[in-house]
Amino acid sequence: LESLGTYDPHGEPPALSVQAERALHWLQLGAEPTDSARQLLRRAGVMRQFAELRAAGKAQYPWGCLGHSTGKREEGRRSVSSE
């Protein structure tokens, strides 16, 4: 697992730090964030950036793991892990 940021909900205001470039990298590789992580990525603007990349056709999907135009998963998706 790779740490992509931190979140402290007890701060005033709550503190959120995200490595957007790395988060976008993993999203382009087909990572599916949990609902909680997706909400934090949305707050950080990462999900908007990812949607814009997909809409502009600039998102890179190696190994054909995602359908380029539909964003739907294809059969035989390759698994990716971080060491």
Report the 3 state secondary structure along 60-77.
Answer: CCHHHCECCCCCCECCCC
Q: What is the pLDDT of residues 24-79, one digit of tens each?
A: 999 999 999 999 999 999 999 999 999 999 898 876 665 555 444 444 444 444 44
* pTM (whole model) above 0.85: no
- Over the Cα atoms of the chain, what is R_g? 14
> Are residues 7 and 46 in contact, defined by beta-carbon separation less than 8 angstroms?
no
> Counting every residue, how long is the chain?
83
Residue tagged 């603007």 (tokens): 45
Cα–Cα distances (Å) from 44 to 6, 15, 36, 63, 75, in that order, read: 11, 11, 13, 28, 31
How much is the pLDDT for 60?
Answer: 65
